[in-house]
Amino acid sequence: AQSVTQLDSHVSVSEGTPVLLRCNYSSSYSPSLFWYVQHPNKGLQLLLKYTSAATLVKGINGFEAEFKKSETSFHLTKPSAHMSDAAEYFCVVRPWSSYKLIFGSGTRLLVRP
């Protein structure tokens, strides 16, 4: 069965320092992988997606993620955190030949001034 594990429920960083949000997935075939962000009282916004093209994927707002098949990981990074990055981040897998998305439990990012 397909699943997604986000290794940290909360991550706290100082403004201007790097961000690393970790995600591991389990999937029988080549999945599509996504990161979504949810700001308070807002919907889910797509940050980036991986669909078996380049393994390093660049998204919006300076975020990027690297697909590592050998490690079954899809960690989200950003070189320098901004206060506006404070939000909840979801790693998501869409199994091959399925319509549905499987969400991780989310990582809440706190950015300290």
Partner 1 sequence: EPEVTQTPSHQVTQMGQEVILRCVPISNHLYFYWYRQILGQKVEFLVSFYNNEISEKSEIFDDQFSVERPDGSNFTLKIRSTKLEDSAMYFCASSDADSPLHFGNGTRLTVT
Binding site for partner 1 (CB under 8 A): 34, 36, 41-46, 49, 51, 90, 98-106
Classify 50 in phi/psi space as left (phi over 0), alpha (psi -120 to 50) or beta: beta
- Amino acid symbol at 24: N
Q: How far is the CB of 5 from partner 1 (least distance, A)?
A: 11
Q: How far is the CB of 18 from partner 1 (least distance, A)?
A: 25
Output 11 or 13, the one with its CB closest to partner 1: 11
Output 13 or 57, the one with its CB closest to partner 1: 57
Q: How far is the CB of 10 from partner 1 (least distance, A)?
A: 13
Could you tell me whether strands 64-68 and 19-21 are parallel, antiparallel, or unpaired per DSSP bridges? unpaired
CA quadruple 88, 59, 75, 78: dihedral, nearest 10: -80
